[in-house]
Amino acid sequence: MADIHTRIDGQIGRITLTRPKALNALSYEMCLEIEKALDAWATDDAVKMVLLDAEGERAFCAGGDIAAMYEAGTKGEYEIARTFWRDEYRMNAKLFNFPKPVASLMQGFTMGGGVGIGCHGSHRVVGESSQIAMPETGIGLIPDVGGTLILARAPGRIGEYLGATGGRIGPADAIHAGFADYFVPEEKWAALTAELAQTGDWEAIDRAAEKSPDGVLAGQQDEIDTLFAGDGLTDVLNALNGADSDFAAKALKTLTRVSPLSAGCTIELVHRARATDEIKKALEQEFRFTYRSMDMGDFLEGVRAQIIDKDRTPTWKHGSPAEVTSLEITQMLLPLGDDALKI
């Protein structure tokens, strides 16, 4: 299909996103095409490894293509989005559990759904332009596509911080937080890709890796661990309000802009993912929220404000983060019974 190119290139299975004008946003059809390729290559001895890359300089994949979800959701047709998420999450799990090495070259923006395809592999490469984020709380969602597991595995409380605030991080911080493994200068990517295709030797990525530019998260680690150590959103808010630092003030300001319900559920989901440490469990928990996000959450209003009308002034269900109760968070994350995600 025109938006994605899957093929065997020499000794590797190669998946290239080809929607650069749309920042390689993932459509439902693209998700199915990725899954189809993974299923074919898992047992194909001709494929030594898989490589995911993308056309264009601005983005590896800036997220999921949610315009269709919004349009259907405003009509009360929630199953379109729920089907998208079901099938996308199943594909994310297959990438995470793929029996061969999976490499990704993530230039520019890698956000949301892009994290779900770029950051679950074994050899995750960033370059100078890489900017990675899980900004879902800004549109009334939670970090999904297995993102809560990556966040849960981040050092200390970085996961709660990045997940709730939707913070964007560069290459060094992406490696520090566990979204990437290697820094390779982008001018070397073409030659590296050619070598991988010719040899199927994934250790070529180790040989090409260099020290990344300095980041900021490591220097903020102690403060993040202190401020985001609470059991829930209320504890985090109390800690931020009681702190006297520029970092705390900026984090608090960000939390007043995102969906309060999403921020509260994100912190809870990161805690749950840390306790179970399984991709299947993380995706199942995330689906509980996304399943309810249109009728019980802020998703439709968030997409309207940030993407459709672009007025950047959403009217959330809660006027402030302090208004979100633990009961409301529990209700968003209750088991779905027969509608539960099955992977």
Per-residue pLDDT of the chain (343 residues; tens, 9 = 90+): 689 999 999 999 999 999 999 999 999 999 999 999 999 999 999 999 999 999 999 999 999 888 889 999 999 999 999 999 999 999 999 999 999 999 999 999 999 999 999 999 999 999 999 999 999 999 999 999 999 999 999 999 999 999 999 999 999 999 999 999 999 999 999 999 999 999 999 999 999 999 999 999 999 999 999 999 999 999 999 999 999 999 999 999 999 999 999 999 999 999 999 999 999 999 999 999 999 999 999 999 999 999 999 999 999 999 999 999 999 999 999 999 999 999 9
Run of H or E including 98: none
Collapsing DSSP to helix, strand or coil, 8 comes out as strand
Which among 33, 53, 88, 136 is annotated as catalytic? 136
16-54 burial, b at 16+ Cβ within 10 Å, e below that, comes to: bbbbeebbbbbbbebbbbbbebbeebeeeeebbbbbbbb
Q: Is the pTM of this model over 0.95?
A: yes
**pLDDT at position 50, please?**
98
Q: How far is 21 from 3, CA to CA, in rounded Å? A: 10
Which among 144, 181, 298, 328 is annotated as catalytic? 144
Which among 73, 108, 112, 113 is annotated as catalytic? 113
Is 136 labeled as catalytic in the residue annotation?
yes
Structure tokens at 286: 């995330």
**C-alpha dihedral, 304 to 255 to 146 to 77, nearest 10°:** -20
**pLDDT at position 294, please?**
96
Which among 13, 63, 64, 170 is annotated as catalytic? 64
Is 187 labeled as catalytic in the residue annotation?
no
Run of H or E including 271: helix 260-276
DSSP E strands, the chain: 4-9, 12-17, 49-54, 59-61, 102-106, 109-111, 123-126, 131-133, 182-183
Collapsing DSSP to helix, strand or coil, 121 comes out as coil
Q: How far is 68 from 339, CA to CA, in rounded Å? A: 22
Is 64 labeled as catalytic in the residue annotation?
yes
Domains belonging to the chain, first-starting first, are: 4-133+171-208 (3.90.226.10), 217-339 (no CATH)
Spacing of C-alpha 209 from chain mean position: 23
